[in-house]
Structure 1
Amino acid sequence: MLIKFISLNLQNYKSHRDLSVNFGEVTKITGDNAKGKSSILESISWILYGTDSLGGKLDPTPITYAADETIVQLLLSVDAKQLLLGRGLKKGKAQYYINEVPSKAKEFEELVKSLFDKDTFLSLYNPSYFFTLHWEKQRAMLLQYVTAPARKEVLNSLPEAQGETLEKYLKKHSLDDLEKIHKENKNTKEKKYIAAQSRTKTLQEQLEQLSEQQIDIESVKAELTHIDMQVRDLEKQLDSAFEKNQDFNSVQSQIRNLQNQIEMSKERWPALKNEEIEDTCRTCKRPLDDDAVEAVTADKEKRIEQYKASHNELVTKRKELQARLAELDYIEVSDIREKIREIHSSGQPLRQAIHTYDQYKKLETAVKTAEADEAAILQDLNSSIFILDCIKAYRAKEAELQAEKVQALFTTLSVRLFKQNKGDGEIKPDFEIEMDGKPYSKLSLSESIRAGLELRDVLSQQSELIVPTFIDNSESITSFKEPNGQLIISRVVAGQELKIEGEAAE
């Protein structure tokens, strides 16, 4: 888009009661200080935005005289199509005009906005304006027209290992998500690695407290097995002895029981043997006849026979049990128990040796497992650290390639788009314009004018927007490259009244 200023009319604007300016390709405004040169330049930004040329507040009312109304009109062409814009102030109320037609503020603002962005226009119109913006805004304005380097280009510019690693992971995650994943994993694994190191150290210390077991564990186990077999054999003998002694005690108990019965039987014999035969009835005391006496005698003899049979049976059973007891042996188990204790005790050192050996081996295995876990965690941690380093390298290379693209737009200026944090080495967005190694803020007036002109030309080329530009205090600079588009030059000439000259292009 090509914007040209054709004419400007100021009525009751600051020190100008009625001033008309006809612009050429080069317009020179000269005169002594306080003759209203800067007011002419600022009136254009006031028409468009109601501000001065740096975007600040501006009071357009007359300074040395009184007037009821202030009106400023700018006739410009937009790609060869004329447009007349006007802004006025009457009794403190703003007035807007589009092609001399009174308009509402919003309608006026929308029209201006449709022509060009405010920051872009003011940066092109006033080469100093760009440097008053926040660095993030400056950076965004310059980069909005410069495409970022393609991912493939950045990856191919990295060392092979870093490029291949990132290319694999970026198929699944964005760079920012990948960074979040591995930052979290790095923090988690750092804590786990510290814990794993502590566990390994503790187990190693426990292992060092046990002397390494230089024994033939199989021989020791075989010897202990032999001892255990001896103990089991003796325990079987002990069980057998218990069974035999149980039989012995049972027979002996039966003999004692029979002996008691025999003694009781003996005690009953005298009474039965000496029992008298009564010849009278026990109840009525009458003499018994012969048959009755004979019956009583027969009954006694029968009872004697029964007694003898029962007594002899007890004696016979006792003899049988005594004969059986004679065949049984009572085994003394205390000797067997003592042998079991002695043999079992002889295996205790072997059991202790096996226990110590097993404990050592378990600790040895635990140490190896802990070391393996520690190594696995460290590997995972290092993997995340490497990927984070790859991401840093990617961003640094991306910044470098993007900076090269931007830098290629300039001839005398250098541009810094990024900076590296001293602490973590991360690449962070930044912005600084330098000339001959000096930042813009340190440049002289003439250097800052040249820097501003070069920058506004780059912005103009990239945005494809050509607007007039002005150089204030041009007496401070002896030579410069003329910008594209119309040029308005303001210069102090001591003792001279305001003079405006519009020149055609040579």
Structure 2
Amino acid sequence: MAKEIVLSSLKIKNFKGIKDLEIDFGQVTNIYGENGVGKTTIQDAFNFLLFDKDSKDSTKFDVQPLDQDNNPIHNLETIIQATMDIDSREVVLKRVYKEKYSKVRGTAKTEFKGYESKYYVNEVPKKVTEYKEFISQLMDEQLFKLITNPMYFANLAWKDRRAIITEIVGDLDNNVVLDSKKNLEPLRSHLDDKSLNDFMKANRSKINELKKDRAQIPSRIDEVNNSIQEFDFDAIDFKVREVSGAIKNIDDKLQDKSKVNEGLFKLKTDLMEKKSKLTELEYEIKSNVNKPKMEFEAKVRSVEVNIRHLESDLENLIEEETRENNLIKMLKDRREILLEKYKKIKNSSFEFDEESCICPTCKRKFEANDIEVKRTELESNFNQDKANRLKENIEEGRATANQLKVKSALVEKIAKKIADKKEIFEATKKSLIALKEKLNKFNPIQVEEPKEIKIIKNEIKSLITQIENFKAEDVSELKQKKQELQLQLQQLDKQLTYKELNEKAKSRIKELEEEENRLSEKIAELEGLEMLSEEFIRTKVELLEEKVNSKFKYVKFKMFNNQINGGLEECCEPCINGVPFTSNLNTAAKINAGLDIINTLCSHYGVQAPIFIDNRESVNQLIETNSQIINLIVSKDKKLKMEVMQNA
């Protein structure tokens, strides 16, 4: 059943520029007056009564009258009362808005504390939450503005306008659009599990990726093509055999000359063996002579290592003792802090500020019973919290004492270990001093050079003389020639490797060309789907605009704009005879367009409310509407003049 709201009367006192005014409304009411006498203020007052805002949807405006210097006039009560007929039931809403003062403690002065409102429904006082709840049940604020102000809908953001229109007419199912044109059928399988917008984004992303891959192929082909090196591979192969033969010939000559030089090689080998045997004998003799001293030195090194280990152990124990002592100090400090905290908690007492017991919305002080309940609740919470904190403090203190006991015992054990280590350390140092004294007094036994060593030294001198007098064959020229031929052969082998590389490069170029063709075919396929998607959108636009416009008598909605690139851009623009509301439409056409939109909204939501039409003088003839009409007409009247009419 449709809800009908009719404004029967409105009483305004001390609101903005209106001092005292009472209006009785009919189905059509004309309010005349020149600019600035308060026509719009009447609509502001009605909106302020319902939603705490003016007709421009703002909460920041001067509610109470201002003096000639534009300052608020104090100690006035602003009263707005509206009598409405809601489905043949009379409802009276009233709001009293005034300044709030409080007495300054200890003085006779009062201090301004802001503003407060009192609300009434059918003369019954209501709390602000109760009043707002009543209004919200009566009418949604957004819907009320949509059906009472012809300009409100068109001034919304286009997305908000589109959301409202879509809610009224509903959206079109993809299958309906696909069924309307056979050539759209290839899209059906792509729209089973995703929206068209998601499909188009995914499809465009694939196209871009494929184009990016395709764009790289020519440069990759060029890179592979540049790697191809053209040579006369048959001639190179012949040259390789020729150079290899020359190298083999030189190797044969070198082998013949090397046989002559084998005698020199044998002399040098004998010399090296004799020198090695001499070194072994000298080391053996020296070792036997110095063996007693080496044993003393080994003992000294062993004791020195032992001393270093003892020093390291002592350092570690001292560091451990220092750490544990620091921890003990921290535990003692923590114990003192916990004790101080315990005393502070134990001596704390409950405090209650009665002045803080005020309503956060209307700033009114609580009743005495409510204050006592609040005090009891807060005191109980305080005592419980105090007991919990004392318990936590005691438990933490006991844990700290146990830790302190454990750490103290550990420090005693460490101190005992340090004393034992120091005693061992001192004894070991004395042992080292004694060993070093013995080592310094040690004198090795001098022995005569053995006969065997003398014989070997004479043999070494003889071998050196023979080597110096040996005449070797010169093979440097043959080796130089061989090195040159080997370098030439390496260069030829390097050129031959390009034969296989060239074949692989040409095969790779063919693969890249095939890949380029495959990518082009796939891109063409996806671009075909993209064109179908755009046609799908245009088809849906035509069907959707037809569906939307069937709901309106005068207004035609433009739901999409054609872009330069051939695409579509979503919008929601009401038009009259093709002229957009927000551009060149005159005031009269805008008002009638707004009324046509209101008629459709009222029909859809099943509700009617008073329509305030500002600048009514600009319209010769209003379109038909079942809602109550309140015309605000600019005239030469110095004071507001009301007139109840039979029709608009």
Alignment TM class, shorter chain as reference: 0.5 to 0.7
Aligned partners of 2:647 and 2:586: how far apart in 1?
Answer: 30
Name the aligned partner's letter for residue 372 of structure 1.
Answer: E
Q: 1:395 — aligned with what?
A: 537
Aligned partners of 1:469 and 1:371: how far apart in 2?
Answer: 71
Name the aligned partner's letter for residue 84 of structure 2.
Answer: L
Going from structure 1 to structure 2, the CA distance change for 1:501 and 1:67 (only over 3 Å counts) comes to farther
Structure 2 counterparts to residues 155-304 of structure 1, below 5 A: 155-158=178-181, 160=183, 163-200=184-221
1:21-79 per-residue CA deviation (whole Å, 9 max, x = no partner) reads 22211112224444433222221111111222221244332356776211111122333
1:173-222 per-residue CA deviation (whole Å, 9 max, x = no partner) reads 443443343233223212221233444556678899799xxxxxxxxxxx
Aligned partners of 2:228 and 2:537: how far apart in 1?
Answer: 48
Contact 1:8 1:20 in 2 (8 A): yes
SS at match of 1:61: coil
Contact 2:17 2:65 in 1 (8 A): yes
Unaligned segments of structure 1, at least 5 residues: 212-351
The normalised TM-score by structure 1 is 0.63
Q: 1:134 — aligned with what?
A: 157
Contact 2:144 2:609 in 1 (8 A): yes
Aligned partners of 2:35 and 2:198: how far apart in 1?
Answer: 59
Q: 1:43 — aligned with what?
A: 45
Name the aligned partner's letter for residue 10 of structure 2.
Answer: L
Q: 2:555 — aligned with what?
A: 413
SS at match of 2:94: strand
- Structure 2 residue aligned with 1:61, among 59, 64, 69? 64
SS at match of 1:377: helix
* Offset, 1:486: 0.7
Q: 2:273 — aligned with what?
A: none
Contact 1:76 1:82 in 2 (8 A): yes
Aligned partners of 2:19 and 2:505: how far apart in 1?
Answer: 101
Contact 2:229 2:502 in 1 (8 A): no
Going from structure 1 to structure 2, the CA distance change for 1:38 and 1:372 (only over 3 Å counts) comes to same
* Offset, 1:469: 0.6
Aligned partners of 2:17 and 2:194: how far apart in 1?
Answer: 63
Going from structure 1 to structure 2, the CA distance change for 1:105 and 1:190 (only over 3 Å counts) comes to same
SS at match of 2:48: helix
SS at match of 1:191: helix
Contact 2:151 2:591 in 1 (8 A): yes
Contact 1:24 1:505 in 2 (8 A): no
Q: 1:121 — aligned with what?
A: 144
Name the aligned partner's letter for residue 142 of structure 2.
Answer: D
Structure 2 counterparts to residues 453-464 of structure 1, below 5 A: 453-464=595-606
Structure 2 counterparts to residues 343-354 of structure 1, below 5 A: none
Name the aligned partner's letter for residue 10 of structure 1.
Answer: I
Q: 1:290 — aligned with what?
A: none
Q: 1:450 — aligned with what?
A: 592
* Offset, 1:14: 3.2
Aligned partners of 1:463 and 1:451: how far apart in 2?
Answer: 18
SS at match of 2:573: strand
What's the C-alpha RMSD, in Å, of the aligned pairs?
3.8
Going from structure 1 to structure 2, the CA distance change for 1:463 and 1:494 (only over 3 Å counts) comes to same
Going from structure 1 to structure 2, the CA distance change for 1:370 and 1:37 (only over 3 Å counts) comes to closer
Matched, 1:475 2:617: yes
Aligned partners of 2:202 and 2:216: how far apart in 1?
Answer: 21
SS at match of 2:65: coil
* Offset, 1:361: 7.5
Q: Which has the larger radius of gyration?
A: 1
Q: 1:84 — aligned with what?
A: 92
Q: Aligned residue pairs: how many?
A: 368
Contact 1:74 1:84 in 2 (8 A): yes
1:232-283 per-residue CA deviation (whole Å, 9 max, x = no partner) reads xxxxxxxxxxxxxxxxxxxxxxxxxxxxxxxxxxxxxxxxxxxxxxxxxxxx
Name the aligned partner's letter for residue 435 of structure 1.
Answer: I
* Offset, 1:485: 1.0
Structure 1 residues 462-471 or 436-445, which shifts more? Answer: 436-445
Aligned partners of 1:181 and 1:452: how far apart in 2?
Answer: 40
Name the aligned partner's letter for residue 408 of structure 1.
Answer: S
SS at match of 1:401: helix
Q: 1:374 — aligned with what?
A: 516
Aligned partners of 1:183 and 1:34: how far apart in 2?
Answer: 57
Matched, 1:105 2:147: no
SS at match of 2:620: coil
SS at match of 1:471: strand
Unaligned segments of structure 2, at least 5 residues: 68-72, 100-114, 233-495
* Offset, 1:466: 1.4
Going from structure 1 to structure 2, the CA distance change for 1:387 and 1:484 (only over 3 Å counts) comes to same
Contact 1:124 1:460 in 2 (8 A): yes
* Offset, 1:116: 2.7
Going from structure 1 to structure 2, the CA distance change for 1:388 and 1:115 (only over 3 Å counts) comes to farther
Contact 2:228 2:501 in 1 (8 A): no
Going from structure 1 to structure 2, the CA distance change for 1:200 and 1:157 (only over 3 Å counts) comes to farther
* Offset, 1:167: 0.3
Name the aligned partner's letter for residue 576 of structure 2.
Answer: M
Matched, 1:8 2:149: no
Matched, 1:502 2:504: no
Name the aligned partner's letter for residue 460 of structure 1.
Answer: C
Percent identity (aligned): 28
Contact 1:420 1:427 in 2 (8 A): yes
Going from structure 1 to structure 2, the CA distance change for 1:157 and 1:450 (only over 3 Å counts) comes to same
* Offset, 1:497: 4.0
Name the aligned partner's letter for residue 95 of structure 2.
Answer: R
Matched, 1:493 2:635: yes
Q: 1:430 — aligned with what?
A: 571
- Structure 2 residue aligned with 1:18, among 13, 17, 20? 20
Aligned partners of 2:135 and 2:28: how far apart in 1?
Answer: 24
* Offset, 1:121: 1.4
Aligned partners of 1:145 and 1:133: how far apart in 2?
Answer: 16
Q: 1:28 — aligned with what?
A: 30
Going from structure 1 to structure 2, the CA distance change for 1:35 and 1:360 (only over 3 Å counts) comes to closer
SS at match of 1:383: helix
SS at match of 1:145: helix
- Structure 2 residue aligned with 1:153, among 176, 185, 189? 176
1:404-457 per-residue CA deviation (whole Å, 9 max, x = no partner) reads 22223334433222234445x543322323334433343333232223222222
* Offset, 1:138: 2.4
Contact 1:12 1:67 in 2 (8 A): no
SS at match of 1:12: strand
Q: 2:441 — aligned with what?
A: none
